[in-house]
């Protein structure tokens, strides 16, 4: 038995690689991945419209490559995918740079410079040349207008890499017209939106990187609205996968009545509220899937406030079937049940806020957590903090008291909750639904009675209860029940 070599022909392979399925935004994100891995702090993406001579460049100030490294980097399969990578490496397959670029353009030029070097090493893939020669041959320089323009901008850099894509035949498919130009810039705007989502964790935080598109800095888009007071946040959970952990953090976004029109539109993201619910799968902090229930649950209207941050590390790539484009992931069998449970709890919590009813939303998570001091509840669309009555210390102390004293402690805790600064300062819409909210009315009446029993006059008790933000506007209904 002999081994016969079967080297793939360059022309058909390079042409097939053009159809891996990237879009403009996923392609650019893949190239930006490389810049982030190279520790760039500044990345400039420039799109230039010149009809057939249009080009896009991506320039970074990362650690760059020497001539040999650049040559290797330009090979299809630059690195072995099964080799371990560090946890800040956004790459895996040794393909992204080429497959992303070829899906948009026929000419890819990469220049790179190491710190302390005066020369920039250059390699160029020109698909027309590969197809004509049927050989995997690269140029080591370029003299096109696009390259000259790009290199001019790169002059001030001590180190870094510049990627230039010309002959954008897959991006610019129309002849010149005002509409064609408009569509081009619309796609660039969509790309900006995508990058601000995919890289939001790099664009914010302690040492943020900066990404510019044609000179304008991209702002991060946080799917979890962490800056909004009304966002509800569950305790982080860890799902074991062998000797590694998947970190999961559930957020329930505010009811729409808590948001301005602008906030609501922005939070809807690129695909809208319905589509953007579910797990947000991050690989080494880079978002790869923006909202999925992994076919375990359906996306539905009441579930649209649930967004769950799920952190994977690069070592999990094969178990999670991460693809070359870094745009899909699928949970392995050993974690599916746990992931499904978390998904159900989040959808249910979202449903409660969506329907604007009072309910302790993270009850199920808190059940095992008797050590938490505060619990969050969503009441009339507002996040209300309650003291955990199941806290072991409180429970133990109350069992040592007689019934009357235990009741007084409970009433006093209700007062603390009602007048705690974070609850007292709650503002927002109070609809007439308030009086129809039976559960809430019952709790207000109970509270008044407890205060009366504790020695308050009915009028004082009512006044105290009405000062609590969640009971706002319920005076008539409470008076009616208390007959005062």
Ligand X SMILES: Nc1ncnc2c1ncn2[C@@H]1O[C@H](COP(=O)(O)OP(=O)(O)OP(=O)(O)O)[C@@H](O)[C@H]1O
Q: Which does 35 bind (CB under 5 to 8 A by kind): ligand X, Mg ion, none?
A: ligand X
Binding piece for ligand X, criterion CB under 6 A, among 86-94, 218-226, 360-368, 460-468: 86-94
Binding piece for Mg ion, criterion CB under 5 A, among 88-96, 102-110, 307-315, 467-475: 88-96
Q: Which residues contact 455 (CB under 8 A, 6 or more apart)?
A: none
List 213's β-bridge partners, or say none: 45, 216
User: Per-residue string for binding with Mg ion, 205-234, x by CB under 5 A?
Assistant: ------------------------------
Nearer to ligand X, 64 or 290 (CB): 64
User: Per-residue string for binding with ligand X, 88-127, x by CB under 6 A?
Assistant: ---xxxxxxxx-----------------------------
- Options 73, 104, 289, 470; binder of ligand X; rule CB under 6 A: 73
Q: Which does 98 bind (CB under 5 to 8 A by kind): Mg ion, ligand X, none?
A: ligand X
DSSP 317-376: TTTTT--TTS------HHHHHHHHHHHHHHHHHHHHHHTT--EETTHHHHTT-TT-SEEE
CB 71 within 8 A of CB 137: no
Name the nearest CA neighbour of 418 among 451, 452, 454, 457.
451
Give min distance, CB of 65 to ligand X, in A: 5
34 counts as binding Mg ion under rule CB under 5 A: yes
Nearer to ligand X, 27 or 253 (CB): 27
* Cα–Cα dist 479/476, whole Å: 5
- Options 62, 64, 91, 290; binder of Mg ion; rule CB under 5 A: 91
How many chain residues are in contact with Mg ion, going by CB under 5 A? 4
Name the nearest CA neighbour of 304 among 341, 337, 352, 360.
352
- Options 10, 24, 25, 34; binder of ligand X; rule CB under 6 A: 34
List 251's β-bridge partners, or say none: 233, 307
Residue 130 has which token pair?
Answer: 């590969």
Cβ neighbours around 55 below 10 Å, total? 24
Binding piece for Mg ion, criterion CB under 5 A, among 32-40, 341-349, 441-449, 463-471: 32-40
Name the nearest CA neighbour of 406 among 360, 453, 459.
453
94 counts as binding Mg ion under rule CB under 5 A: no
CB 364 within 8 A of CB 345: yes
Site residues, Mg ion (CB under 5 A) = 33-34, 91, 96
* Interface residues toward ligand X, by CB under 6 A: 30, 33-35, 38, 60, 62, 64-65, 73, 78-79, 91-98, 161, 324
């Amino acid at each position: 038995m002999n081994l016969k070599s079967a080297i793939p022909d360059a022309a058909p392979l390079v042409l097939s690689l053009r159809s891996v399925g990237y879009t403009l935004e996923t392609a650019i994100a893949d190239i930006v991945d490389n810049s982030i891995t190279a520790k760039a702090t500044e990345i400039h993406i420039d799109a230039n419209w010149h009809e057939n001579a249009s080009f896009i460049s991506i320039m970074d100030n990362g650690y760059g490559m020497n001539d040999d490294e650049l040559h290797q980097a330009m090979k299809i399969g630059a690195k072995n995918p099964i080799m371990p990578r560090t946890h800040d490496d956004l790459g895996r397959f040794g393909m992204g740079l080429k497959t992303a670029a070829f899906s948009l353009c026929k000419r890819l030029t990469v220049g790179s410079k190491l710190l302390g070097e005066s020369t920039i090493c250059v390699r160029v893939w020109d698909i027309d040349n590969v197809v004509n020669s049927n050989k995997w041959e690269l140029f080591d320089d370029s003299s096109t207008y696009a390259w000259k323009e790009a290199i001019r901008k790169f002059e001030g850099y001590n180190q870094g890499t510049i990627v230039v894509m010309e002959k954008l035949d897959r991006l610019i498919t129309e002849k010149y017209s005002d509409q064609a130009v408009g569509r081009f810039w619309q796609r660039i705007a969509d790309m900006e939106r995508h990058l601000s989502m995919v890289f939001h964790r790099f664009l914010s935080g302690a040492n943020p990187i900066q990404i510019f598109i044609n000179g304008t800095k991209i702002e991060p888009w946080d799917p979890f609205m962490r800056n909004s007071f009304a966002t509800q946040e569950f305790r982080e959970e860890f799902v074991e996968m062998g000797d590694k952990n998947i970190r999961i953090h559930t957020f329930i976004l505010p009811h729409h009545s808590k948001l301005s029109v602008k906030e609501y539109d922005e939070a809807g993201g690129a695909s809208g509220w319905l589509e953007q619910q579910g797990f947000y799968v991050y690989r080494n902090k880079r978002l790869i899937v923006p909202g999925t229930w992994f076919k375990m649950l359906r996306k539905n209207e009441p579930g649209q406030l649930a967004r769950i941050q799920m952190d994977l590390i690069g070592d999990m790539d094969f178990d999670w079937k991460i693809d070359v484009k870094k745009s899909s992931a699928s949970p392995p069998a050993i974690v599916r049940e746990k992931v499904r449970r978390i998904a159900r709890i989040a959808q249910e919590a979202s449903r409660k806020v969506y329907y604007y009813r009072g309910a302790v939303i993270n009850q199920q998570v808190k059940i095992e957590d008797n050590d938490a001091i505060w619990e969050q509840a969503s009441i009339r669309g507002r996040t209300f903090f309650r003291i955990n009555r199941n806290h072991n210390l409180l429970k133990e102390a109350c069992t040592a008291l007689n019934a009357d004293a235990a009741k007084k402690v409970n009433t006093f805790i209700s007062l603390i909750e009602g007048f705690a600064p974070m609850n007292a300062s709650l503002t927002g819409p109070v609809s007439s639904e308030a009086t129809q909210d039976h559960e809430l009315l019952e709790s207000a009446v109970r509270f008044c009675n407890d205060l009366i029993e504790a020695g308050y006059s009915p009028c004082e008790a009512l006044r105290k209860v009405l000062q609590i933000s969640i009971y706002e506007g319920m005076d008539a209904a409470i008076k009616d029940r208390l007959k005062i």
